Amino acid sequence: MELAYIPSPSSGVLYLGPVPLRGYAFCIIIGVFVAVWLGNKRWIARGGRAGTVADIAVWAVPFGLVGGRLYHVITDYQLYFSEGRDWVDAFKIWEGGLGIWGAIALGALGAWIGCRRRGIPLPAYADAIAPGIAIAQAIGRWGNWFNQELYGRATDLPWAVEITSSADGRMPGTYHPTFLYESLWCIGVALLVIWADRRFTLGHGRAFALYVAGYCAGRFWIEYMRVDEAHHILGLRLNNWTAVLVFLLAVLYIVLSARKRPGREAVVEPGAGDGEGPAADAGQTDGDAAGKDASAEDATTEDATDTDDATDTDDAGKPGKSEKPDESEGPAEPEESKDGAGSAKKA
């Protein structure tokens, strides 16, 4: 008898009146928002404009959803096109089934289109959003919990997940919660990328490549634990081979990129630091106002200086043009008297 386990929800759908709220889709949506939010903060910190990450995500997210679904349908075609199956189910994305490999590949294509329209280097954008993607995956994996899918071998560990559904060949029982393992692993990968990016000043796509390598390392052993139906090659599941191949490519990219382009991009978004945009306009307005204040202050100071000049004596000790002799000192001494006094002193 199990002393403890993670219960599965009785249903993966909650109804808000006539509107169905599916747990799987809800987790995906939350993950996307978190990824955009964190990516925006990192993009601004690297010198980009606020809102750029969200604008490019408008291209990347739809492409990523299509790519993720295509990968799943192609690699698990028997679930939709074998005898007794309805091919229309291939379009029911809310029922689960997104391959991360296809989502990243086609999502990168969408991001490239968005970056190209703005003149932004794709590697810099990928570095900014890499930790956010990992966290989005961590959140999205809980959608598998709602659907009671992607669990591992049977176990009686206290953190086992209880499967109650018997649909699609499932057998009720307690199993390794591989969705939980992958969720925690993805959070660790996100923290690793953030730390390494600060410690080593990663650039030119190396932070993104580190995320890919880190995720693949975890996906290999987690995939090995799963018991759901999958294609096998030489005794390993297809996704195991994919994880190995992508891991090697990511590591190779990090090594070659570090040699060819060390350091980080100096400019990630053209014009972001040139005083363009609303913020810059506001700054320019403030600068103009400050300039006007400074000019007025200079004018006031100059007027005061002129007034002082008018009341002071010149370098020769003579009164200024506007100054009159002080009558209280008596009449001026004749020139002859001055000369005489001077002659007496010389003698």
Question: Position of tokens 């199993």?
Answer: 175
3-state secondary structure labels for all residues of the chain: CCCCCECCCCCCEEEECCEEEEHHHHHHHHHHHHHHHHHHHHHHHCCCCCCHHHHHHHHHHHHHHHHHHHHHHHHCCHHHHCCCCCHHHHHCHHHCCCCHHHHHHHHHHHHHHHHHHHCCCHHHHHHHHHHHHHHHHHHHCHHHHHCCCCCECECCCCCCEEECCCHHHCCCEEECCHHHHHHHHHHHHHHHHHHHHHHHCCCCCHHHHHHHHHHHHHHHHHHHHECCCCCEECCEEHHHHHHHHHHHHHHHHHHHHHHHCCCCCCCCCCCCCCCCHHHHHHHHHHHHHHHHHHHHHHHHHHHHHHHHHHHCCCCCCCCCCCCCCCHHHCCCCCHHHHHHHHHHHHC
Query: Cα(178)–Cα(228) distance, rounded to whole angstroms?
Result: 11
CB 86 within 8 A of CB 80: yes
Nearest Cα to 124, choosing from 11, 212, 206, 240? 206
Tell whether residue 22 is among the known ligand binding residues: no
Q: Which residues are annotated as a binding site?
A: 141
